[in-house]
Each structure stands twice: as C-alpha cells, then as structure tokens.
Amino acid sequence: MGAAGFAYGAQVLAARMMGWDAYGIFASVWVWTAMLGHTLTLGLSQGACRFVPGDQAQGDLDLARGYIRAGALVTGGAALAIAGLGAALLMLEPDLFAPAYWAPIAVALGVMPLFALQDYLEGVARSQNWVGLAIAPPYLLRQTLMMGCMIAAILLGAPPRAEVAMACMLIAAAGATGLQAALLAARLRRSLPAGPHRYRWRAWLGTSLPIAAIDLANAGFTFVDVIVLGALVSPAEVGVYFAATRIQQFVVFVHYAVSAATLQRYSAAQAQANRFLLAELVRRQGRMTAAATLVVGGAILAVSPLLLAMFGPGLGASVPILCILIAGSVGASLFGPGEDLLTMLGGERLCAGITVGSLVAAAGLCLALVPAFGTLGAAMAVALATMGRAALLARAAGRIHGLPTPVWATGMAR
C-alpha cells in the first residue's frame, strides 16, 4: 500500500507540473512503456516464483542457479532487441506518431529495458520470499527518485513537458534497478552457494512463454481503457481518466501485496506434495484479499474527492469513474486466486487464453461504450471484463487442480 501511495504521489506531481495536455501525452507513452517493459521478461519473472522454490525444495541448487542466470540473460537480450527495433521504427517511420510524441517515445525506449530487468529482479527476489527487496526498489525507491528528479528539473529551468518527465523516469529506473541488482546479488551469494549451473531451456520456456502471453494480456487488460480513450478522446480527457486509475491502484495493490507474499509458496507446497497446505494457502489468500480489497476500496471512495483534488481542480466528474473501477476490483476479488494457481501449478496456457479473451472483450466493450458514455463507458467496460475474467479463472483453477478459490467456497482440495 505504501508503494501505491508513492506511485500516486508521483502521478500527482507530474500532473500538477505539466498540465493536463502534457500529462495526457506522458500517460499514453507511459502505458505502452510499462506494458512492454513488464512483458519483455518473456514470463521468466513469474517463472522464477514457480521453478526456483521448487528446485530448492528438492535440493537441486544447480538448476536453481541455472534458471536465475538464464532468466537475466534472456530478459536483457529481449528487452534490448525490442528497444532497438522501436528506435529504428521511430527513425524510419516518424509519421506513425504525432510530433508531440516523438521525444517522449525516444526516451521511453531507454526506460523499457530497465523496466524489464527490474521486473525480473523482482521475480527472483519474490522466489526467495524477500518481499521487501522485491517491492521497495521498483515501487518505493523508483517513484521517490522520479519525484525528486522532476522537482529538480523544473527548478533548474527544464520545460514541464512529457519528455522531461520520461527522462526523470529513466534516471530513476536506472538508479533503482542498479541498487536492486547489487543487493539481490549479495543476498543470493549468501543463500545460494556458488556451484555448477544446469539448464532446462525447453521446460522453462515452454512454461514461461505462455506466462509471457498472460503478462502481455494482463498489461493490456490493465491499460486497454486508456489506450482506447487515447484513440477516441483528447489528451486532456485521457489525463483526467488516468488520474482516476492511479487512485484505483491503491485497491489493485491489495491483491499484488498478498500475492507477492504467497505465490512462491504454492510452488514449494506442490513440490512437497502437501495438498493440505495448498488448500489452506488458497483459502487464506482468497479471504484476506477480498476482505482487504473491500476495506481499502471503501476507504478510498470515502476520501476520493480529496485524492482527486490533489491532481487539480475540476475533477469531481471522476468520482463516478473511480466508483465503477473499484466496484470491479472488489467483485473480482471475491473469486479468489485462480490466476495464481494456474500460473504456479499448471494451466498457464488456459490462463493465457482466458486473459486474452477477456482483453478482447474489454476492448470491444470500450469501443462500444466510450462513444455513448465517454470515460464513464471505459470504466464500465473494464469493470465488467475484470469480474468476468476472475470468474472464468476461478472455474478453470477449480476444475484443473481441485482447489475451490471463491471466498464462498468450502471444502478441502480434491
């Protein structure tokens, strides 16, 4: 939740300093940067939580060491390759983008590889139950550095434009990623003694690439409303809507926080064939997430006028948008950790299919509702698709693994 607060603070600062038009451009470029950066781990970040704890539980440290090294090399190579392709496209076909977007996109191409590497480092840290090391650098330190750089840049006379904000994010991402990499390497040397490396490329990539599809679809699902709005409404309207989604992140981070502490334990329990522990983890995570989501969602709605006012005057119309988005998050939380089970225990291809289908449905609903209802229609589309996806994932996890995930479900694992 502290991470959500820092992210909110960074977005408030950017909006106040740049104004809605420049902030809307920054938000549009930021969405694509975050979406692609998160996906360019090729699923190996989530895969670390699945494979490394299982290998350690079975005493196969050579395989654990091999996965950590291989994941870093593949993530770095893929991210640099895509950034290079993006730079070539920007130089060869600049007319694909409006001139106001050229400079922010150019800077964002440098941010993407750092995002990808930091996302992988987060996955490795989570695989070792080092939740603080996993979350603090990308979600606390990076946001703090970004705010500090933005303030310093404006005080030094830099123009309050989208490319300046993106350059501040580049500096922040470089600093946070470098520190996290150094700290993680030091802790791994103590907990995972030096030794040989073994590799299982077919098994790792066969599992991780479908997870990458899930990550891409999840990222698209998170930002599909902003992307559609970017094509249909003005940058200022996109900025106002994006502000509401940043406040919603307080609610979304509840699931992330609980998942960060639980995800890798599913893999370890599965490796130990402990079905009782698996069922208890599912029950506990589902009920804790739903209860906390409801409490946090209610609290955020109670103070939403104040939180929106921090972005600037005239955002009262965003309160209904925020209500709908939070209602979707609360409804989805009631179906439990279906996605976590499918990605950690098996069923990642089905999970990817459900998520892609939900993304298509969300995009279709946005295209249908935005012309009639504007930004409110985008919120309705995402809320409906979010709850539908959660229901399908819960049903799939129950059928494949015999573990009921909805909070109202009772009984032991089959």
Cα–Cα distance measured from residue 4 to residue 387, given in angstroms and rounded to the nearest whole number: 22
What would the pLDDT profile of 25-80 be if each residue is shown by its tens digit?
888 888 888 888 888 899 899 889 888 988 888 888 999 999 999 999 999 999 99
Mean pLDDT value of segment 215-223: 78
Q: Are 300 and 326 in contact (CB under 8 A)?
A: yes
Residue 2, pLDDT above cutoff 70? no
Tokens of 283: 């029950």
How high is the pLDDT of residue 343? 80
Cα–Cα distance measured from residue 241 to residue 27, given in angstroms and rounded to the nearest whole number: 10
Please give the distance of CA 244 from its chain centroid, rounded to a whole number.
Answer: 17
Residue 359, pLDDT above cutoff 80? yes
**How long, in residues, is the chain?**
414
Least confident of 71-80, 97-106, 234-243: 234-243
Crossing angle of helices 20-39 and 162-191, in 10° steps, is 30
Provide the mean pLDDT of the chain.
87
User: What HEC string does the chain produce?
Assistant: CHHHHHHHHHHHHHHHHHCHHHHHHHHHHHHHHHHHHHHCCCCHHHHHHHHHHHHHHCCCHHHHHHHHHHHHHHHHHHHHHHHHHHHHHHHHCHHHCCHHHHHHHHHHHHHHHHHHHHHHHHHHHHHCCCHHHHHHHHHHHHHHHHHHHHHHHHHCCCCCCHHHHHHHHHHHHHHHHHHHHHHHHHHHHHHCCCCCCCCCHHHHHHHHHHHHHHHHHHHHHHHHHHHHHHHHCCHHHHHHHHHHHHHHHHHHHHHHHHHHHHHHHHHHHHHCCCHHHHHHHHHHHHHHHHHHHHHHHHHHHHCHHHHHHCCCCCCCCHHHHHHHHHHHHHHHHCCCCHHHHHHHHCCHHHHHHHHHHHHHHHHHHHHHHHHHHCHHHHHHHHHHHHHHHHHHHHHHHHHHHCCCCCCCCCCCCC
How high is the pLDDT of residue 222? 78
Four-residue CA torsion sign, 133, 257, 139, 141 = negative
pTM of the model: 0.74
Four-residue CA torsion sign, 118, 119, 120, 125 = positive
Residue labelled with tokens 């809507």: 241
What would the pLDDT profile of 184-203 be if each residue is shown by its tens digit?
999 999 888 888 999 999 98
Pick the closest to residue 385 from 225, 192, 164 (CA basis).
225
What would the pLDDT profile of 7-16 be if each residue is shown by its tens digit?
777 777 777 7
- 159 backbone dihedrals φ, ψ, rounded to 5°: -70, 145
Residues 6 or more apart whose Cβ sits within 8 Å of residue 396: 338, 342, 347, 350, 351, 354
